[in-house]
Amino acid sequence: MRKLSKLFGAAVVWTSLSVAGAAAAECIAPADPGGGWDFTCRTIGKMLFDQKLVDAPVQVTNMPGGVGAVAYADVMSSRADDAELMVATSTVGVTQIAQGKYPADTSVMRWVAMLGTDVGVIVVPKDSDFETLDDLVAALKDDPSALAVAGSSGAGGWDHIRLLMLAQAAGLSGDEYKQIRWVQFDGGSPAVTQMIGGQVQAVSTDLGEIAGFVESGDIRILAALSDDRIPAFPDSPTAKEQGLDVTGYNWRGFYTGGEVSDDGYNAWVERLQKLYDTDDWKETAKANGLVPVWRGGDEFEAYVKDQSDQMRKISQEIGVIK
């Protein structure tokens, strides 16, 4: 009995210690445990500590809701000057901002850096009739509603937009590509397994989560939405090579509150840049299907603003927003 209460006491002390440690550095993952943003916080947080770039382990806080909108509103209203805080985000978050689904635009935050990017791909089952991207596009041109395509986002999300950008580049009109059937699943792997089971004919999503299925030969990449071929899969052609000038990256990075001092902001940029320069990060990135790419500080600020503007334009063109 006494032993039990001692153990329990130890657990309580440990928990409160880890909460107290939050004063050191905190990373908010604006999603449930297990998602991509959670992964970003946990991996980067762990590596920052391993590389001794922070003094104490980085505390990861999950704040799910509204595809990141809840965390965005929280930081904006109550933690805008907290220099020990960073929040994980990605192209998916910027897409939401561009479509007005967050409480404010990109200007209310300070954008720290991106450390890597996932690459969008169009995949089909191994025994699919579609051999090239052309085959798929031709089928869509013939009858846009002939195919059901799946991805990890709802209609109007980044996975869907990337597919529509391809359709647009291939010359389908707005009325035509709106007829393409889009099916949402809770992630890339569920979408791919349902595709293998014959429920849908193609999947548009990030490569990272589904790379195992490509390696095992269950699915084929019809097109990589990147400038160059993906190092891990040099045999898979890009959309550009096949005549459709579309790229669709999903970068992983961080923002911090809009009223954080220059010193606080620069400290984060510097820490993350040091982390980016390690071999450790390059290996971790590769193991998780990410391509290491660095943009930090002012350059990243400008990049995010630019991307948000572009995304708004695309979303209007393809009719996701007015």
In the chain, the amino acid numbered 238 is T
Contacts of 279 (CB under 8 A, 6+ apart): none
**Nearest residue (CB) to another protein, 269 versus 291:** 291
Is residue 63 at the binding interface for another protein, with CB under 8 A as the rule? Answer: yes
Is residue 103 at the binding interface for another protein, with CB under 8 A as the rule? Answer: yes
Say how far apart CA 295 and CA 299 lie, in whole Å.
Answer: 6
Is residue 91 at the binding interface for another protein, with CB under 8 A as the rule? Answer: no
Q: Quick one: which of 6, 126, 181, 313 contacts another protein (CB under 8 A)?
A: 181
**Nearest residue (CB) to another protein, 69 versus 267:** 69
Is residue 77 at the binding interface for another protein, with CB under 8 A as the rule? Answer: no
Tokens 């954008």 sit on residue: 111
Is residue 218 at the binding interface for another protein, with CB under 8 A as the rule? Answer: yes
Contacts of 115 (CB under 8 A, 6+ apart): 44, 252, 253, 272, 275, 276, 281, 285, 292, 293, 294
**Binding-residue total with another protein (CB under 8 A):** 66
The stretch among 106-114, 132-140, 213-221, 264-272 that binds another protein (CB under 8 A) is 213-221
The stretch among 85-93, 184-192, 225-233, 238-246 that binds another protein (CB under 8 A) is 184-192
Q: Where does residue 293 fall: left (phi above 0), alpha (psi -120 to 50 degrees), or beta otherwise?
A: beta
Is residue 61 at the binding interface for another protein, with CB under 8 A as the rule? Answer: yes
Is residue 138 at the binding interface for another protein, with CB under 8 A as the rule? Answer: no
Query: Measured between alpha carbons, how far is residue 190 from residues 50, 121, 151, 196, 205 in Å?
Result: 33, 15, 9, 10, 11
**Nearest residue (CB) to another protein, 99 versus 238:** 99
Angle (deg, nearest 10), helices 91-98 and 297-317: 60
Per the structure block, which two tokens stand in for 245? 């000038």
Tell how strand 219-224 and strand 109-125 pair up: antiparallel
Q: Quick one: which of 116, 157, 248, 297 contacts another protein (CB under 8 A)?
A: 157
Is residue 32 at the binding interface for another protein, with CB under 8 A as the rule? Answer: yes
Is residue 126 at the binding interface for another protein, with CB under 8 A as the rule? Answer: no
The stretch among 2-10, 79-87, 104-112, 161-169 that binds another protein (CB under 8 A) is 2-10
Q: Quick one: which of 46, 141, 178, 229 contacts another protein (CB under 8 A)?
A: 46
**SS3 sequence of 136-172:** HHHHHHHCHHHCEEEECCCCCCHHHHHHHHHHHHCCC
Q: Quick one: which of 13, 138, 287, 302 contacts another protein (CB under 8 A)?
A: 287
CB of 135 to another protein, least distance (A): 21
Is residue 17 at the binding interface for another protein, with CB under 8 A as the rule? Answer: no
Per the structure block, which two tokens stand in for 272? 């993350």
